[in-house]
Structure 1
Amino acid sequence: MVRIDASTNVEELSKALRTLVSKQLPFALALTATRLAMLVKQGELAVMRERLDRPTATTMNSLYVKVANKSNPEARTFFKDAWTSGVPADTYLQQPVKGGRRPHKRFEKALIARGIMQPGQYAIPAESALNQFGNVPRGTIMKILSGLGAAETVSGVQANATGSKRSKRKGNADRYFAGDVDGTQGIWERKKSAFGDAVRPVFIFSDGEPGYRVIIPFYKIAENIVKANRAKEFASAMDQSLSTARG
């Protein structure tokens, strides 16, 4: 009979396990953080689809995850803060996320700088001017600014309507005007029809500062998702890191 007593090796085994766990812990923490960030992204997108009015593909593709690594076990879920053109998502989604009063948009600042709108006023889009996503198209806004002489100068090229033949063919200066129609101040578009000439509102000037309620409680959603999944994701990540550990 051969008797084998392994008790003398318990301390060595315990030390080896502690070393293995310690070595694999940074990987497990980074994997946990990354998986939680991905779950947060999925949860945020689900709420955005449900609560935003006709969100564009750009808006729905604006949420990103920065993965964690062993040297920096912190992952992030965030709105992209820069685009090749246009307003970045982390700017125009501030109101749905945080609520409160909204600042003047670039379009409104241009109108104010030109003296077309008062500093305390805001330009509210008319329902008839909205596209399928509930926005006034950027192209329309640029035509309005050009027609009103409030377009920005980019790289030395003036975008405002002028008296040139090319500019007159575009017709922006004749098509749009700012003023008071039947007691309502705003920006108007001249329309021709079989019944004669008419005007329709594109933007109405409001003296009240627009306020927004929180539509997407971004931080609370993230907190709840992390709380509900942290323990499970850490256990799974630790199992994976130990099972793939190199000897």
Structure 2
Amino acid sequence: MAELKDLSAQLQSLKKQIKFATSQALTSTVRQIERAQKNALKQNLDNPTPFTISSVKSRGATKNNLVAKVFVMDIAADYLKPFEVGGIHKLNSQALLNPKNIKLNKYGNLARNKSQQLKSKPDVFVGDVDGVNGIWQRTKAKKGKKGKKRRVRSQNGNRQPRLKSPAPKLLIQFGDALPVKPILNYMNRANKMAAELMPGELEKALAEAFRTAK
């Protein structure tokens, strides 16, 4: 009976070591996939923001829960989805905002709430000018001599017509959402890496678990 108890204890210990090693292998695999997916975003997207890059996360496994995963946070996943499966750009408003004569941030994007800030200015208006719909800024007419906008009288005594107001400056043009070419290959990369990495990671983890087993 004593030998059976010893054997049972050894089997239980072995079972624990296998679970622990499996959780270690799963966690190591998803961490590597997470890093690869972040690098892929940097390579395939045009100057993505830190928010977009850090939205890729991984969750490791434990010996009591042998499940590990790599995922994208909901907000980023919403606008990144077309780059994975195709479709049209996810718009943050009712129209695509196409910046024209306006300063962008270092990632080439409009600053947060920039359109609302512009609309609050007295010299800015939203509307259609010559068939182009967007946010416009009125430009001041150049003053003539002595600060007068009306030209001086000609030699025959007729007053020349008032100078025309200059055309407004287009700051942001409104447009429709554009189609997106799928370029991320996120799911294929994750599945391929998991299949390639997991056997080797499991072998290493089992060897280490048995080496340190008491």
Same fold (TM over 0.5): yes
- Is 1:199 aligned to 2:168, yes or no? yes
Q: 1:219 aligns with which of 174, 187, 202?
A: 187
Deviation at 1:46, TM superposition (A): 1.4
- Is 1:100 aligned to 2:87, yes or no? yes
Q: How many corresponding residue pairs?
A: 189
Matches within 5 A, 1:178-189: 178-189=126-137
TM-score by length of 2: 0.74
- Is 1:229 aligned to 2:197, yes or no? yes
Superposed CA deviations along residues 217-243 of structure 1, whole A, max 9, x for unmatched, are: 111111111122111111011112222
Superposed CA deviations along residues 13-53 of structure 1, whole A, max 9, x for unmatched, are: 99887554322111111111111111101111111111111
TM-score by length of 1: 0.65
> What residue ranges of structure 2 are gaps of 5+ in the alignment?
144-164
Superposed CA deviations along residues 57-92 of structure 1, whole A, max 9, x for unmatched, are: 2222222211111111111212233xxxxxx32223
Q: 2:76 aligns with which of 89, 105, 117?
A: 89
SS in 2 for 1:174: coil
SS in 2 for 1:93: helix
> What residue ranges of structure 1 are gaps of 5+ in the alignment?
1-11, 82-87, 109-121, 148-171
Superposed CA deviations along residues 150-172 of structure 1, whole A, max 9, x for unmatched, are: xxxxxxxxxxxxxxxxxxxxxx2
Please tell me whether the aligned partners of residues 101 and 172 of structure 2 are also in contact (alpha carbons under 8 angstroms): no
Larger radius of gyration: 2
Identity, in percent, stands at: 25
Deviation at 1:175, TM superposition (A): 3.5
Higher relative contact order (CA 8 A, sep 6+): 2
AA of the residue aligned to 2:84: V
